[in-house]
Chain A
Amino acid sequence: MKTLITLTVNGDAHELYVDARRTLLDVLRNELGLMGAHRGCDSGDCGACTVIADGQPVTSCMMLAADWNGAEILTVEGVAQDGQLHPIQRALVEKGGIQCGFCTPGFVMNIKALLDENPHPTEAEARAWLAGNLCRCTGYAKIVEAVMSVAEGTS
């Protein structure tokens, strides 16, 4: 069964006929060609598919696209502005918070959701917030350093 839905992704409105079985992650990657959100565990545990939907961080592999008709989605492709990396992306690069990079888009989006709500988290708050993102390179120390450097850099 196909359903007509509208999604606003990174500011652009899209009308799409989607198979009801498709997840939001499927639609972002296969229909819209946005490969930033990654399929890791496909069960909501690893956070590699994290995007921001209507202002909240979500695992896009655990959402039927048809359920999210009308939603505003922000993916990692939408965070850099005018060719400039977002401060979170720059901090991850500068602090070495990237190794293989597979988990990075999910981290960028969940860190953005954290700092949008709480611009100055404690390290413990940042670690708790990021519990839903796994880095198989286990580079957590550098990722947390990056979060804290962005938090310190804003006032």
Chain B
Amino acid sequence: MNSFDHFTPATLNEALSILSERNGNAAVIAGGTDLLLRMKNHILKPAAVLNVKRIPELRALSFDSNEGLRLGALTTLRDLTRSPLIRDLYPVLASAAGLMASEQIRSLATLGGNLCNASPSADLAPPLIALDAVACLVSLSGERQIPLAEFFTGPGRSVLQKGELLKEIIVPPPQGKTAYLKHSPRAFMDIAIVGAAVRIQQQGGKCQQARIVLGAVAPTPLRVRSVEESLEGQTFTDESIRQAAKISAEACSPISDVRSAAWYRKRMVEVLVRRGLQAVAL
């Protein structure tokens, strides 16, 4: 690792001031499980490291029946798997977090890190986007909110500007049923080669609202809006689910890499979307 200045601000304002003074040359560290790897491998050589773990404003974990769930950026994957609130009201987030890495890494890694690193395979992104989550970003000039579906702009890239921090994620009150399915070559300790989140809200036997969000098969997490729209207003059948799964597979643009071939990822998108819809819609 190259040497760097290390800061541990105690307040959000202090952190934002340091970020602003450093003009983008400070790396934000929370869990550190992604950042330190890149620093050890000399992929990143930040001049300053800003430890945000002592900032109370980033620690929200609360629910309000109108506003929904507030999840601070510092929420760890372990918190997501253990919180009775999340297990009860948003079980898909607890199960998605539980599919990631190991017990040791889940104690360290945070929600904010998983999202801000903007890996196309980030496991928390598809279920949160399916839940219509909103990202709350904060800088010295104030706060702004953006749908999480619009947060990612490419592999490792997001709308986060220099001097800006992800403060928290706001998830609307739970509506319908949500599932996240992950496919990876190994059962544990592996990155998704395909992730698929589906959320279906039905009334009177008809689909009111559908969300289908894919991970690891495009430069960013991908909402398959054409399929969502085709399902809304319809009654689910085996055939309509098969069709939706097939079109979802055609809608994505995976790459071939060391983990999987593109054609295999597409096939698995079809399988996971079908299984997901069968689980929540029938």
By a beta-carbon cutoff of 8 Å, the part of chain A in contact with chain B is 1, 3, 19-21, 23, 42-45, 47, 50, 53, 56-59, 62-64, 66-67, 69, 110, 113-114, 128-129, 131-133
- Decide if A62 touches B1 in the complex (CB within 8 Å): no
Given contacts A63-B32, A66-B51, A67-B29, contact A20 B5 (CB under 8 A): yes
- Decide if A129 touches B103 in the complex (CB within 8 Å): yes
Interchain CB contact (< 8 A) of B107 among A42, A45, A56, A131: A56
CA A45 to CA B2, docked complex, whole Å: 22
By a beta-carbon cutoff of 8 Å, the part of chain B in contact with chain A is 1-6, 8, 29, 32-33, 36-37, 40, 49, 51, 53, 78, 101-105, 107-108, 187-189
Interchain CB contact (< 8 A) of B105 among A3, A21, A128, A132: A132
Q: Give chain B nearest CB distance to A62 CB in angstroms.
A: 5
- Decide if B6 touches A20 in the complex (CB within 8 Å): yes
Q: Give chain B nearest CB distance to A120 CB in angstroms.
A: 17
Given contacts A44-B33, A110-B103, A113-B103, contact A59 B108 (CB under 8 A): yes
Residue of B nearest to A18 (CB): B6
CA A113 to CA B104, docked complex, whole Å: 10
CA A128 to CA B49, docked complex, whole Å: 33
Q: Can you list the 3 inter-chain pairs with the closest CB atoms, starting with the nearest?
A: A132-B102, A131-B188, A20-B6
**A131 partner residues in chain B, CB cutoff 8 A:** 102-103, 187-189
**A3 partner residues in chain B, CB cutoff 8 A:** 6
Given contacts A44-B33, A132-B102, A132-B103, contact A63 B6 (CB under 8 A): no
**A133 partner residues in chain B, CB cutoff 8 A:** 102
Q: Give chain B nearest CB distance to A18 CB in angstroms.
A: 10
**B1 partner residues in chain A, CB cutoff 8 A:** 21
CA A63 to CA B49, docked complex, whole Å: 13
CA A109 to CA B139, docked complex, whole Å: 40
- Decide if A67 touches B53 in the complex (CB within 8 Å): yes
**A69 partner residues in chain B, CB cutoff 8 A:** 8
- Decide if B36 touches A20 in the complex (CB within 8 Å): no
Interchain CB contact (< 8 A) of B104 among A19, A23, A44: A44
Q: List 5 A-B contacts (CB under 8 A).
A: A21-B4, A47-B102, A57-B103, A64-B32, A114-B103
For B1, B51, B104, the residue with the greatest tally of chain A CB atoms inside 10 Å of its CB is B104
CA A11 to CA B33, docked complex, whole Å: 26
Given contacts A20-B4, A47-B102, contact A56 B78 (CB under 8 A): yes
Known pairs A42-B40, A59-B105, A69-B8. 19 more at Cβ < 8 A? A19-B3, A20-B5, A20-B49, A21-B2, A21-B3, A44-B101, A58-B107, A58-B108, A59-B33, A62-B37, A66-B8, A67-B29, A67-B51, A67-B53, A110-B103, A131-B103, A132-B102, A132-B103, A132-B104
**A1 partner residues in chain B, CB cutoff 8 A:** 3-6
